[in-house]
Structures are given as structure tokens and as C-alpha cells.
Amino acid sequence: MNRRDALKNIGLGTGFVVATPVLVNFLQSCSSDAENWTPIFFNVEEGVFLKHIVDIILPKTDTPSASEVNVPEFIDKYVDEILDIEDQERLKTAFNEVITLLKDKYNENLNRLTNDDYKNLLDKHMLLNQPPTIESDPMTISDTLHTIKWMSINAYINSETVGETILAYDPVPGIPKEFCITVEEATGGLAWSLG
């Protein structure tokens, strides 16, 4: 099994429920300046769409937004380096379909779309109770939005920033003084970071 297949199997194929050290390192290698990011796999227009949609899915609140922790860069790098050619083509076609819809419905210039435009896209086209999948051919708009959402959430919770500043983090884990304590007592109710 080659690196691409292994990462795909432990990555989005399993919803990366378990963040392995390889996947965490892959995510942490995405440390560019979010404002000056240039996509590798996606074209510039697809990068604009991706950056805006992930920030609607995970906006800035008292925690950083998705783009502030380099989620678009991770998704772009993941698609470029991990997905096979067929899945890349499927996702590229799906992105173009969503972008065409946005241009037809709202504005030819994606930089002029508002947050409400993106929220309307999610509200109208993201069907509930549909698991994310890249394998459907062709991908529907709902498939595409679910896939972006799933990638965004998993990249976000496995980012170094979120792992070290939001989740419970212990760079050198050890056995607590009291072996049998609750999560509430150990971390104040926070999940543990794997980074």
C-alpha cells in the first residue's frame, strides 16, 4: 500500500475519527499566511469559494474561524496529495457545479458574494441526513457541501491552534495523581487534543 492509499484510508475514508500522528503532521504542515494563500490543486476561483464556505461552516466566534487555522490549505493539500485522480476529478467537477450555481444565482464575482449568499446556498442545497461522500458519481451539490463540511470540521479540530488553545492539551501526558477521575475533573470537561 502506498502513502496516498494509507492516508486516504486513515483520513477522510474513515471520516478521520481517529487522528493519527501522520494525519496530524500533514495538517500541521499547512501553516501559511491565511490571507495570502494560493491554492495548489484548486484554481484561484475555487480557492475563493472554499475559503468563504469553510468560514461560514466554522465562523470566528470566541474561537478562530476555519481559515484562521488553515483549513482551506489543508483541504487543498489533502485533495492534491491524497485523493486519487478519479476522486480529484469528481471533486473538481462538483466544485465547478457549485460555483456555477453561485454565479447564476448571486454574482459572477465570487469575491462580491455575502455571507448570507453562502448561508442560503447551505440552507437550500445541503440535504439533511446525507453522509459525506466523494465516491458518488456525479457528486450532487449536497454531496459536495457535506464533503466540504466534513473535511472542514475534522481539519479544524485536529489543527495545532485548536488542539493547543481550545482543547485540553498536555504536551507530556502522564498518569494523573488520582488514577480514576472524571473527564470533568481532569480537563474541565474539554476533550483531549491529539497534537
Q: Under a CB-based contact definition with an 8 Å cutoff, are residues 30 and 74 in contact? A: yes
Q: In this structure, what are the phi and psi dihedrals at residue 176, rounded to the nearest 5 degrees?
A: -60, 155
Measured between alpha carbons, how far is 164 from 4 in angstroms, rounded to an integer?
Answer: 28
CA 135 to chain centre: 17
> How large is the average pLDDT for residues 48-52?
95
The percentage of residues in the chain with a pLDDT greater than 70, rounded to a whole number, is 67
The residue-averaged pLDDT of 158-183 equals: 66
**pLDDT at residue 80, rounded to an integer:** 93
Would you say residue 4 has pLDDT above 90?
no
DSSP characters for 101-151?
Answer: HHHHHT-SSGGG--HHHHHHHHHHH--TT----S-SSSPPHHHHHHHHHHH
- Distance (Å, whole) CA 151 – CA 63: 18
Residues 3 and 30: their CA atoms lie apart, in Å, by 18
Give the residue from 49, 139, 42, 125 showing the smallest Cα distance to 94: 139
pLDDT band at 15 (very low <50, low <70, confident <90, very high): very low
Report whether pLDDT(92) > 50.
yes
Task: Read off the pLDDT of each residue in 142-171 and give the average, rounded to a whole number.
Answer: 82
**Residue ranges per domain, the chain?**
3-158
Q: Which residue has the higher pLDDT, 44 or 135?
A: 44
- Reported as half-sphere exposure (CB side, CA atoms, 13 A), residue 151 has a value of 29
Higher pLDDT, 37 or 20: 37
What is the per-residue pLDDT for 22? 52
Which is nearest to 71 in space by CA: 171, 185, 175, 151? 151
pLDDT at position 127 is 80
